[in-house]
Amino acid sequence: MNTRDCGHIISASSPAKGEAGKTGEWRTQRPVLNEAKCLAVRANKDICFQCWAFCPEGAIERKPGGPIDLTYCKGCGICAQICPADAIQMESEYDSPESTKSE
């Protein structure tokens, strides 16, 4: 297999998610949202969004209880740290019932 088909004259990349692979695999801890505590979920309104605002990966959707994209979430824990309602807990990947690698 050769590289001719790419047709590139220079090294020029095109955007795509997961350039570094499924970076969720880097995680040792996963964020778990307790919806009962989440301000936005409880109010069912577009409020707070601190977790979305401060996610360095852009892996949290801007929605009440916005799902966290565990495929790419690197498990840094900023969202848990920043949440004013203490609604996100970091849980060990080893204790987690779901496999990180499943997709």
Selected binder of other proteins within 35, 43, 53, 86 (CB under 8 A): 53
* Alpha carbon distance 74, 56 (integer Å): 9
Q: What is the CA radius of gyration of the chain?
A: 17
> What distance in Å separates the CA atoms of residue 39 and residue 55, rounded to the nearest whole number?
17
Q: Which residues contact 13 (CB under 8 A, 6 or more apart)?
A: 19
DSSP H or E stretch at residue 32: strand 29-33
Q: How many residues bind other proteins (CB under 8 A)?
A: 48
Nearer to other proteins, 6 or 36 (CB): 6
Q: Tell the smallest beta-carbon distance from residue 86 to other proteins (Å).
A: 13
Report the residue number, 15 or 97, with the smaller CB distance to other proteins.
15
15 touches other proteins by CB under 8 A:
yes
Please give the Cα distance from 90 to 77 (Å, whole number): 7
Answer yes or no whether residue 18 interacts with other proteins by CB under 8 A: yes
Site membership for other proteins, residue 30 (CB under 8 A): no
Amino acid at 100: T
Q: How far is the CB of 40 from other proteins (least distance, A)?
A: 10
> Would you tell me which residues interact with other proteins (CB under 8 A)?
1-3, 5-6, 8-23, 26-27, 46-47, 49-50, 53-59, 62, 69, 71-78, 80-82, 90
